[in-house]
Structure 1
């Protein structure tokens, strides 16, 4: 259950109450930035189930996720000043543990996750290729141009 709460805290750090956040390349990118790993479909599903079951988020039929007013209040209470983004999920996790959590019965469609994962990996491959080309060009340029 601790793993679920930690993942729920990570997801909570990425959501807000005004714009639905879908399971897309952007969500995976944000998760990767915060946790330096990519979540599986099951981890996103489980994290969402904790937030929805605890009344801190909603999810629509297209897996657009929003924080509820209570979820947004908890999220806003975490001081942003002086903290690194990677510290926020830890603080939210402690608050979730103190609050107690419940789980909703949700199923994230594999097709939604697979499309997001493929888009994320394709974008990562393009970034890697651009970095390689930039490095190659910098090492190849004649000395007087450097």
Structure 2
């Protein structure tokens, strides 16, 4: 069963993507609307996990461009809550969500999320009011025709979540598709568990009662004795994309600087996109000032993809002057530009705050 926070993220996402099966919602719209409804900007992982859960439950379909569209069941569930505000809608949807288990095959590309985040932080300016004034004045001057009296709209659908769930329970076509979907998800989960089995066997032999490699990614407790096991499996490779990413993220801790050369070799010759992402996170997490030059070289390598964005904050952290100079030089870079621009503006805002405070 999903945690309350996890279910709430899925409910927020379903509230955002619209009520029609024909509506396609890009990640750019998701980020902006999520920030309004939930009063925070969602991380890539939050959107990815919520989308994976909704797709796993058969409520959402994700196309190749990562636009989200509700299925027939998703659209009906989305329309079930009545007479609620935009801020109350996610909580109302959360009450009628079925059990959620993420689809491990769903991965939100970093470049799509980075572009969406940049659009949210730097939206295109609206036209000045003096440009639109003539049109607004003309519109006000036009006489309005009297609107015909409208007949009250009588809803033919379920009026409460209880009625909606009862209707689904009595719908044989829905139950057939749900059973087929759950069978497919069970098959995927079994395949994922089988792929992780050798790793978990070695971890349990060392005294770690983990149910998944992701358990190490999502904990703040140190696990130094598990790091050699995780690194050995990361170097061995051959696991599915999501497992390789989880191994890389699981070793994203400062003590791994002792294995810096191994991580660099893996990053330069990745066997999957998941491995490249996970190892990039590990390099950024463990680098110290002694690794600055090599990390800078990796970040400046234009032959690599968007995983280099993980290095920018670290470069500034371990050598402020040189790291800041590099980040500012990449503001126009097609890959690093969005993150570099954000970090540069963030630093400028902090500098202005200090000047006001000290001045």
Please state which band the TM-score falls in when normalised by the shorter chain.
Answer: 0.7 to 0.9
Distance 2:86 2:119 in 1: 24
Aligned counterpart, 1:103: 102
The aligned length equals 121
Deviating runs (4+, > 2 A) in structure 1? none
1:1-146 map, 5 Å: 1-16=3-18, 17-24=21-28, 26-79=29-82, 81=83, 83-96=84-97, 99-105=98-104, 106-123=106-123
Question: Any unmatched runs of 5+ in structure 2?
Answer: 127-359
Q: Which structure's CA Rg is the greater one? A: 2
Question: Any unmatched runs of 5+ in structure 1?
Answer: 128-146
- 1:103: Cα distance to partner? 1.5
Distance 1:62 1:117 in 2: 16
Q: TM-score, normalised by structure 1?
A: 0.78
Q: Per-residue displacement from partner, 1:62-113 (whole Å, max 9, x unpaired)?
A: 101111000101111111x3x21100000111211xx211211210000000
- 1:123: Cα distance to partner? 2.3
SS in 2 for 1:93: helix
Distance 1:66 1:36 in 2: 23
- Structure scoring higher RCO (CA < 8 A, sep ≥ 6) equals 1
Q: Per-residue displacement from partner, 1:42-79 (whole Å, max 9, x unpaired)?
A: 00000001100011001011101111000101111111
Distance 1:109 1:2 in 2: 25
Aligned counterpart, 1:130: none
Q: TM-score, normalised by structure 2?
A: 0.33
Distance 2:68 2:100 in 1: 18
Distance 1:21 1:102 in 2: 22
Distance 1:111 1:4 in 2: 24
Aligned counterpart, 2:305: none
SS in 1 for 2:122: helix
